[in-house]
Amino acid sequence: MLASEDPAFLPACRQAELFASGALTPLDVVEAQLARIDRHEPKLQAFTEVYAEDARKAAAAATDAIRRGWRIGPLHGVTIALKDLVEIEARETKGGTAANAGRKSTYTATLARRALAAGMIVIGKTHTVEFAMGGWGTNTRLGTPWNPWDAETKRAPGGSSSGSGVAVAAGLATTAIGTDTGGSVRLPAAWCGHVGLKTSLGRISVHGVLPLAESLDSPGPMTRSVEDASLVYAALAGADPADPLTARPAYVDPGPGLKRGLAGMRIGAMPERDRAGVDPEMLAAYDAALDVLAKAGAAVAPIDLPSRIADMAEPLGHIIYAEGYAHYSRLIDDPAAPVDPDVRPRLAMGARTTSRDYILAKRAQQGVIRAFHEAIAGVDAFLTPTTAVPAPVVAEIDQTKTPAVFTRMVNMAEMCALAVPTGFSSGGLPLSAQFVAAYGNEAAALRAGWAYEQARGFDVGVPEGFK
């Protein structure tokens, strides 16, 4: 089933065209998505809370405003789901932990305020791994969302932005926000079969976003098309006095160059050594993507990275554990606290990290940043698989391991990356690759991703078991 057949699955850029022409209204889309939530949410468990009546009121207001010619911009009337780390005044924000049940926000996060200022409609809050600490997407206490691409067997949705990934894939929201500390936007985007943008550190304010590791956390959009990711990124990015990291080099709007195509672009292919351990179908889709890029006009050639991509996973993990433990030690150290048994041992590792260990790890990270940026100076972006394997069965997951084999490298080296679908496995599970670009060069990753999307003619589609 093609996405174009159902308004709940239309990408935001197409909705904007139809809203402008009067062929579709924001209220039509909200009602379609709320109907799908009513029908499928009991099984999918994407949301912690759905703001149905508020969404209907906002959609009615957007419909009337657009009809009267008072359209704010391309995202006016488009729905967005927010990960349950994002503060919204007077709403519950738990951060994925049962210990925060009933906790009400006293203010609204900057990114949420910017989404509302763009005319977007917040349709609800989505599930996350507890404290955003995990790549599989599981949450034993508050619920693990169901990956919609397998209606019979519960597979990993990807984490930690699990509910956001499922909401977009299943047509419960047009767009969503995740946060990415080691892959938590890209992993669910990959396993749920859509687009996810890991933004450069400081590009989108984290003011009002519950932290995991403040030196790494990067909010980013999860969408059905690359153009949608560009639009949401443009709406949310920019300096914020409440977040000092946003004072780094000025944000550049990717919109003007998004559709320039691949002519003149240099795309790197990952070293041969990094192909080890990757699922054959994932590799075949990756190689096919490189071929599509070359035929569409990009100059594609292997690049030499300073280390194996997988080698970045462990050192980044130690930084995450240390910073995460600093925030949540009160709960981690309390055996009576209702902490997810899969998450507790991860953050407990932070208790064993001395200040010396942490400082040395951060110094080592600076060397990684320099080395990787020097290595990719000759390309606009380079391509890797987003995950090594398609979504695994939840019951078979080894929680002592991480699926962030390819994604953590991006965070460790302070780069940005765009995950895009590359097709499906023989078992009907989504496959994905990520365009990785230098710090602050989201425009290059988005431009390459948009051109690939157009050249391949990919329609994200509708999961068969959740029509």
Tell me the C-alpha distance between 426 and 26, whole Å.
36
What's the token pair of residue 349?
């590792």
Q: Using an 8 Å Cβ cutoff, are 172 and 47 in contact?
A: yes
What's the token pair of residue 102?
């009933």
3-class DSSP assignment, residue 433: strand
Q: Using an 8 Å Cβ cutoff, are 407 and 301 in contact?
A: no
| Cβ atoms within 10 Å of 329's Cβ, excluding its own | 14
What's the token pair of residue 442?
């989201």
Catalytic residue among 161, 164, 184, 425: 184
Q: Using an 8 Å Cβ cutoff, are 80 and 50 in contact?
A: no
pLDDT digits (tens, 9 = 90+) for 399-440: 999 999 999 999 999 999 999 999 999 999 999 999 999 999
Tell me the C-alpha distance between 16 and 255, whole Å.
15
What's the token pair of residue 240?
């914020």
**What's the length of the chain?**
467
Q: Using an 8 Å Cβ cutoff, are 194 and 221 in contact?
A: no
Kindly report the pTM of this predicted structure: 0.97
pLDDT digits (tens, 9 = 90+) for 333-351: 999 999 999 999 999 999 9
| Sequence-distant (≥ 6) Cβ neighbours of residue 208 within 8 angstroms | 86, 87, 105, 107, 108, 109, 110, 111, 112, 242
> Which residues, in sequence order, are bridge partners of residue 269?
302, 383
Whether residue 83 lies in the annotated active site = yes
Residue 460 has what pLDDT?
A: 82
Alpha helices in 45-97 (DSSP H): 52-67
DSSP single-letter state for residue 401 = S
Whether residue 198 lies in the annotated active site = no
How does strand 299-302 pair with strand 266-269?
Answer: parallel
419 phi/psi in degrees, rounded to 5: -85, 130
What's the token pair of residue 189?
């985007």
Tell me the C-alpha distance between 382 and 14, whole Å.
28
The number of distinct structural domains making up the chain is: 1
Residue 441 has what pLDDT?
A: 97
Q: Using an 8 Å Cβ cutoff, are 133 and 321 in contact?
A: no
Alpha-carbon Rg for the chain in angstroms:
20
458: left (phi over 0), alpha (psi -120 to 50) or beta: beta
**Closest by CA position to 410, among listed 320, 346, 316, 322:** 316
Catalytic residue among 94, 160, 200, 225: 160
Alpha helices in 98-148 (DSSP H): 110-117
Q: For residue 361, give the H/E element and its range.
A: helix 355-375
First to last CA, the chain: 8
Instruction: Return the CATH number at 48.
Output: 3.90.1300.10
Q: Which residues of the chain have pLDDT under 70?
A: 1-4
Helix, strand and coil content of the chain, in percent to the nearest 5, comes to 40, 15, 40
Domain containing residue 57? 3-466
86 phi/psi in degrees, rounded to 5: -95, 120
Tell me the C-alpha distance between 150 and 374, whole Å.
41
3-class DSSP assignment, residue 221: strand
